[in-house]
Structure 1
Amino acid sequence: MYQVIIIEDDPMVASINKQYVELTPSFRVVNIFKSGIEALEYLQDNDVDLIILDYYTPLMNGSEFIDQLHAMGIAPSIIMVTSASDTDIVLQLLSRGVIDYLVKPFEYSRFKAALDKYSQMKEYVSQAKSNMKQGEIDKLLIRQESTAAAAANLTKGLNETTLGLIRAFLKENRDDAYSSEQIAEQIHLSRITIRRYMNYMVETGELISTIDYQTGGRPSIRYRYVKD
């Protein structure tokens, strides 16, 4: 389980970021801070794997926070989530070890791509030998690029946030199969809308569909989450 902290002074944005992080089961938000100063105090005594950082926070900006972090001898991975898109700022932060940079407003699929890239990198490195060969390094870089590219391929007309909610519900109940009507009731959307998402998730291999003939009437299609 990857331990995550969020540094964001807007409570609503911080809450959304927390929901996005925890839609991915291997990540857990352990704390939220309104400023880098508060986060640095916490990090003096607590280890984290990943920081979701807004550039514009009270008392110090993102660059100043990273400087202080490195001065403490701490270097967790950082995903920047901010409205700061000035070229100099972006290049400066990427040169300081920021592993991904999301410009507000962004959609869930892009956020998830950043988390996937991080977790795949950690998993790959943990399995690598003490000295990586050039081929292994190249594979790591390719993995990072392909994960980000996959986020851009979501079918037009589907909403990433809605897809994330449906996915989270089905993952949490992966031992059971549900009809579109049952899922619609849980997510509070129309059956027609849910069916569009079910078709997409079946095509991408996240779900399997079966036909239930024991309904006492018209057969019902049921869906179950199967992707690891």
Structure 2
Amino acid sequence: MYTTVIIEDDPMITRLNRRYIEQDSRFAVVQTFSAAHPALFWLRRNPIDLIILDVYMPQMSGTELLLQLRAEGVDADVIMVTSANDAKTVNDAVRLGAVDYLVKPFAYERFRQALDVFCRRRESVQRDSFSQDVLDHTLFQAAAPTPPVTPPKGLQSQTLSRIEAYLRAAPETRHTSDEIASHVGLSVVTVRRYMNYLAEQQVIGSEMDYRTGGRLCLVYFLRK
């Protein structure tokens, strides 16, 4: 089983990432951190297999933390999970050995693909020698390109990720706009704009709730 650490300052995204990872029996989340310094202190003393790492964090950025880890000989594989999509950040992460880079928001299937690629590479390096075919189809075969989901103008990727994280934390529950707004700290009007976008993308569905007496209420739910 591959030991995994999540370093992410947004607790809702941390819960979502943990939920994704724990759906895969090959992995176990052993620690989560919301800032870089405690993560660095712990990782110096505890060898692990995989780090799920955000870029935008207090104390130091994810790429600065990755640079420090490499300088100190921490060789855990890293999957970046972040809203940072500028060329410098991506290139820095790749140069420092990130094995995959996921731009928020993304589908669960893309996260699972990143875990699959990690596992194939880990399994392949157990060999005594390599043929060119093995190299081409394991170590150097990149994950199939998946274009990042870019919300339309006026919608923010981080806000969209927070809403999705809240919904995925209770995937069987029906949610009203008021409930979502209260949990993610947005106005009801703003939440409805994001929910309309998620409905257009077939991420969520909606239906009328008639259990509120004479007042009709629209509720949202995750599509399976």
> Would you call these one fold, judging by a TM-score over 0.5?
yes
CA distance in structure 2 between the partners assigned to 1:52 and 1:37 by the alignment: 15
CA contact (8 A) 2:70 2:96 kept: no
The structural deviation recorded for 1:34 is 0.5
Partner of 2:130: 132
CA distance in structure 2 between the partners assigned to 1:150 and 1:113 by the alignment: 11
Q: Where in structure 2 are the equivalents of 1:76-115 lying within 5 Å?
A: 76-115=76-115
CA distance in structure 2 between the partners assigned to 1:22 and 1:102 by the alignment: 18
Partner of 2:29: 29
Ranges of 4+ aligned residues in structure 1 off by more than 2 Å: 131-136, 148-152
CA deviations 1:186-210 (Å, max 9, x no partner) are xxxxxxxxxx97xxxxxxxxxxxxx
Report the TM-score, using the length of structure 2 for normalisation.
0.63
CA distance in structure 2 between the partners assigned to 1:151 and 1:59 by the alignment: 31
CA distance in structure 2 between the partners assigned to 1:48 and 1:58 by the alignment: 23
More relative contact order in 1 or in 2 (CA 8 Å, sep 6+)?
2
The structural deviation recorded for 1:149 is 3.0
Q: Percent identity?
A: 43
CA deviations 1:85-121 (Å, max 9, x no partner) are 0012111211110000000011100000000100111
Secondary structure of the residue aligned to 1:44 is: helix
Secondary structure of the residue aligned to 2:4 is: strand
CA distance in structure 1 between the partners assigned to 2:119 and 2:21 by the alignment: 12
CA deviations 1:165-217 (Å, max 9, x no partner) are 89xxxxxxxxxxxxxxxxxxxxxxxxxxxxx97xxxxxxxxxxxxxxxxxxxx
Letter of the 1:149 counterpart:
A
Secondary structure of the residue aligned to 1:89 is: helix
CA distance in structure 2 between the partners assigned to 1:151 and 1:123 by the alignment: 24
The structural deviation recorded for 1:151 is 7.8
Change (3 A) 1:112 1:72: same
CA contact (8 A) 1:54 1:82 kept: yes
Unaligned 5+ runs, structure 2: 148-166, 173-222
Q: Where in structure 2 are the equivalents of 1:186-205 lying within 5 Å?
A: none
CA contact (8 A) 1:53 1:62 kept: yes
Root-mean-square deviation over aligned CA pairs: 2.5
Partner of 1:215: none
Partner of 2:66: 66
In terms of fraction of residues, the more helix-rich structure is 1
Letter of the 2:44 counterpart:
Q
Change (3 A) 1:151 1:25: farther
Unaligned 5+ runs, structure 1: 153-160, 167-195, 198-228
Partner of 1:182: none
Partner of 1:51: 51
The structural deviation recorded for 1:141 is 4.2
Partner of 2:144: 149
Report the TM-score, using the length of structure 1 for normalisation.
0.62
